[in-house]
């Protein structure tokens, strides 16, 4: 009579191990995951989406890149309440309420560590000091883009440079982080010389 009971205990112990392994496997899936859609053509705003929490809450953010430059986003966004720090953003908790065809107004460049004018993002994150985050280097000068909540095992993911060369964004551990420092713009294109007869 004890054998079936012993067998049951072993199976129950095995099931606990399997369930524990499944829970541990599922934990990374509960982590926040973001999607970056890109900047507007003029770079005045950017759009990203965040999925977070146990209920997978989807939030869509339209954010101004520079407070000194009015964003060229859809007019209805001007009337909505904005969240602050470090960027002024309009948030939609219902993505279906976002302005019609908003995706057509933004573009996502290919990810790259190397940017315009010899700029490059360093793969090693800055974990110590007052400004943790990811860093870029231009002309030998290193600048840190602030990112909170970094850990020793945090990893830099895709890096995106705005085509105009003024803005930079990156993923760290699946989180989207737009750089809080505006890069110097590249040289303005020169008008073609008129041919003289």
Nearest to 46 by CA among 184, 147, 169, 157: 169
pLDDT at 153: 95
Backbone angles phi, psi at 26, to 5 degrees: -80, -20
Q: Which two tokens stand for residue 73?
A: 């986003």
β-partners of residue 59 are 50
How many whole angstroms from its chain centre is CA 146? 12
Nearest to 123 by CA among 79, 171, 88, 162: 171
Q: What is the pLDDT along the chain (197 residues), one digit of tens a residue?
A: 455 444 444 444 433 443 333 333 333 333 458 999 999 999 999 999 998 877 888 999 999 998 888 999 999 999 999 988 789 999 999 999 999 999 999 999 999 999 988 899 999 999 988 899 999 999 889 999 999 999 999 999 999 999 888 899 999 999 999 999 988 755 444 444 555 55
pLDDT at 17: 40
What DSSP designation does 56 have? T
pLDDT at 184: 75
**Residue in the block written with tokens 């990112």:** 147
What is the spatial distance between Cα 45 and Cα 190, in angstroms, rounded to a whole number? 25
162, 117 contact by CB (below 8 A): no
pLDDT at 195: 55
Q: DSSP string covering 127-181, please?
A: -SSS--EEEEEETTEEEEEE-SS--TT--EEEEEE-TTSS-EEEEETTEEEE-SS
The dihedral built from the CA positions of residue 137, 143, 149 and 153, taken in this order, carries a sign that is positive
Q: What are the structural domain ranges in the chain?
A: 29-108, 109-184
């Amino acid at each position: 009579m004890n054998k079936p009971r012993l067998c049951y205990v072993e199976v129950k112990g095995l099931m606990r191990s399997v369930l524990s392994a499944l829970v541990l496997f599922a934990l990374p899936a509960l982590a926040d995951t973001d999607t970056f859609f890109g900047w507007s053509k003029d770079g005045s705003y950017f759009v990203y989406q965040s999925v977070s929490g146990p209920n997978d809450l989807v939030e869509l953010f339209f954010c101004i890149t520079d407070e000194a430059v009015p964003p060229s986003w859809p007019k209805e966004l001007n009337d909505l309440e904005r969240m602050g720090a470090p960027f002024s953003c309009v948030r939609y908790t219902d993505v279906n309420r976002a302005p019609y065809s908003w995706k057509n107004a933004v573009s996502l460049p290919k990810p790259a560590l190397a940017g315009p004018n010899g700029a490059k993002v360093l793969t090693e994150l800055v974990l110590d000091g007052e400004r943790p985050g990811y860093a870029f280097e231009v002309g030998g000068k290193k600048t840190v883009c602030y990112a909170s909540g970094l850990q020793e095992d945090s990893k830099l993911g895709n890096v995106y440079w705005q085509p105009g060369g003024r803005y930079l964004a990156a993923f760290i551990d699946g989180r989207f982080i737009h750089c809080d420092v505006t890069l110097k713009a590249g040289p303005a294109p020169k008008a073609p010389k008129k041919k003289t007869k």
